[in-house]
Amino acid sequence: MSIYAISDLHLSFGDNKPMDIFGEVWDNHTEKIKENWNKKVKENDLVLLPGDFSWAMYLKDTDKDFEYLNSLPGKKLLLKGNHDYWWTTLKKMREYIEENKFENIDFIYNNSYLYEDKIIVGTRGWQDRKNS
């Protein structure tokens, strides 16, 4: 088993916010991600996605983004990013992935995750200036 991490996918299959507006390097970025992912990640690998997975504003609008992610090999753990406005409670998100049969996706949100003999935890990486 290997552990990989990738962030800032900014998927927009259900939203009209293509990443190529940020330059040619972003042309076909979802195809590039899929191609490289499939070259490296195996079914028993773990992939951490620490933020900015989807441009969607609401969980109900992430269907196609989650379908894309679910189609890729490996177990995926998502952590909340600053653009993940769709993010809701852990209970609602787990119900959503269960209802949609996204069986290789889960979340780190005020919890930890045991994968084989590894424990995965996450934390916010910046200090709140209001409380410093």
Say how far apart CA 8 and CA 49 lie, in whole Å. 8
Decide if 70 contacts 104 (C-beta within 8 A): yes
Q: Which two tokens stand for residue 46?
A: 């773990």
pTM here is 0.86
Domains of the chain: 3-131 (3.60.21)
Q: 74: exposed, middle or buried (C-beta count within 10 Å: 0-12, 13-18, 19+)?
A: buried
Alpha-carbon distance of 116 to 7, in angstroms, equals 22
Residue 30 is predicted with a pLDDT of 85
What pLDDT, in 10s, does the model give residues 15-69?
676 666 666 776 777 899 999 999 999 999 999 999 889 888 999 999 999 999 9
Q: How far apart are CA 40 and CA 106, in angstroms?
A: 20
